[in-house]
Homo-oligomer: A and B are copies of this chain.
Amino acid sequence: MLDGMPPARLSLSAPLRAVTLRDAFWDRYTRLVRDKVIPYQWEALNDRVPGAERSHAVENFRIAAGLAQGEFHGYVFQDSDLAKWLEAVAYRLTTDPDPALEAAADEVIALVGQAQQPDGYLNTYYTVAQPGKRWTDERRKHELYCAGHLMEAAVAYFEATGKRALLDIVCRFAEHIRGVFGPGPGQKHGYPGHQVIELALVKLFHATGDRRHLELASYFIDERGRQPHFYDAEERERGERGHQGYFEDYVYAYTQAHLPVREQEQAVGHAVRAVYLYSGMADLAMETGDESLAAACRALWANLTRRRMYVTGGIGSQDYGEDFTFDYDLPNATMYAETCASIGLVFFAQRMLALEPRGEYADVMERALYNGVLSGISLDGERFFYVNPLEVWPAACAGRHDHRHVAPVRQPWFGCACCPPNLARLVASIGRYVYSTSQDTAWVHLFAGSALAARFQDRPVRILQTTGYPREEATAFTFELDQPTRFRLALRIPGWCRHPVLRLNGAELELAALARDGYACLDRAWSATDRVELALPMPVERVRAHPGVPADAGKVALQRGPEVYCLEEADNGDRLWGLGLPPGAPLEARFDPDLLGGTGVIEGPALRRSDSGWADELYSSAAPADLPARIRAVPYRVWGNRGPGEMTVWIREPS
């Protein structure tokens, strides 16, 4: 009954099939994805949702396969919607088999195969709408991006089902791509305008053992940003003068192609592309041991997470270019903070953890997961945020052009449907982010009720994690093993926790002696009677932003455990900006089983700026009056489930 996979070195993460997740927190989301999102998306991809924007994604493949007549419809990257759905399906089949769903997936995979061209090429936009124009505009047209998502789906589906059909399709496609791109004289010395194929090729290498996939990923990474510039060459070949399109003035930085990647030190450009690139860089640094690439990853990580990241793990400070802007520019109402970007940040963090297990990577991964990622989906699983603001005034969303990208309520489905399927594939595979293993160590990165199957000393081991996280403070680890087995259990000690307590079989351990880079490392021959208990006290924390951040000056955010809280109009009335939270105000956290399907809340006294004494004037030098008030905060990820209204993460702190 004990089963595990033999790890040769520190794994990217434990394989999904090695992790069994049964967790009060995550089950809510995995069930939503299983019961609502994946079925809904399948209907949407097949244009069977009344009233929703037409996807046409499956129909595009039918047309490309010659099975239907018609025109291509959708974005140039429409194929990726189907790919991300297939990837989510694969994860769901891994944890939760479903023959009918698998049959549907097999059928659409066969269709994808029929749409593949004799030379291995596979992209419905070019096949249907632009025959003969393949590989002429990689900067803008997403061919390699769609290829990358298909590769990720293929690897996941192969690992879930053992079926090679899609894997073979993408390997043929990869071979085609290797012919087109490379250092040879007849080849394009280029790389994708929208990254993802780099990390996908590394996955393909892992699944197949074919090093040529790794080499192609390295080529794309190494070539990026070199002079003479690929985009200029493309443009010349198209016979165009001057780069076309909206992003003219920062065409290179927008796609992180302004410098060779090893010279990049600041997170710039389109945030999703950036973190997909950085993930691929970290993958390669780990696979190849390239220290210069690892150093670039560390520099980009530091800049991104210490200068350009929201407290929710959101990234992308402006709508224009869906872009990082500059250090400490973190406006709360006009940002982008796309759900996909926080998902990509989780990918990047996971890979940095694999490169070097340090708690700061897991801290950011957790911050993004519990806040800026899960805020993307409604509690009923039917609506999604693309943009995740930290402050909402619905009147501004409706009335200000510079807020037009910010929806005050989640939307049912998007024409550009990147975020919902991205959320689905992440949540369906959340077990992969909880653990990783090396020859002699089991790393615990996240706290979630689960079991990990592993092998140490060539024996199967099962580590059981029992927790009420993030609602409760206590987590326990027990072990299923046939005989005492030596390995190291490395438990993450979250950066947000000031006073963690670790016990082994009831005896408190000296944490300082065990701590290494944010992990408490317990090295012993474990037996089936051992019990490790980790208590992570979760008082309400007042969090402040660095004094360099203008948007948060004089304000606090409330956090309990990994969860950032926010104020909503539904609980606090309107004019949230009129509320002030004095530093000494006692704040209490409790669980409200009746609110939002059961949620933590933080409550306490506050002050509310009074508008009595104001006649109809706009400015006055009369002394202001503050009235006693109470606030109630809810976790950021559950905001916006009660209709439109004001919301704010950052609260004024009169001090």
Contact = CB atoms under 8 A, between A and B. Distances in A.
A609 B545 contact: no
Contact of A320 (B311, B401, B610): B401
A554 B306 contact: no
Interface stretch (A106-114, A376-384, A467-475, A573-581): A573-581
A544 B621 contact: yes
A616 interface: yes
A538 to B, nearest CB: 12
Interface string A610-644: 11001011111111101000000000000000000
A654 B554 contact: yes
Nearest to A496: B621
Q: How many copies does the complex hold?
A: 2
Interface string A203-244: 000000000000000000000000000000000000000000
A651 to B, nearest CB: 10
A615 B266 CA distance: 19
Interface stretch (A19-27, A63-71, A151-159, A392-400): A392-400
A13 interface: no
Given A395-B326, A402-B320, A619 B546 contact: yes
Interface string A584-627: 00000000000000000000000001110010111111111010
B617 A396 contact: no
Contact of A402 (B302, B402, B553, B619): B402
B621 A306 contact: no
B547 A610 contact: yes
A655 interface: yes
A305 B618 contact: yes
A553 B578 contact: yes
A652 interface: yes
Contact of A326 (B317, B319, B399): B399
B393 A652 contact: no
Interface in A268-313: 302, 305-307, 309, 311
B319 A617 contact: no
B619 A329 contact: no
- Among A400, A548, A614, A624, the most chain B Cβ lie within 10 Å of the Cβ of A400
A550 interface: yes
Interface of A: 302, 305-307, 309, 311, 317-321, 325-326, 329, 334, 393, 395-396, 399-402, 496, 498, 541-550, 553-554, 557, 559, 575, 577-578, 580, 583, 609-611, 614, 616-624, 626, 652-655
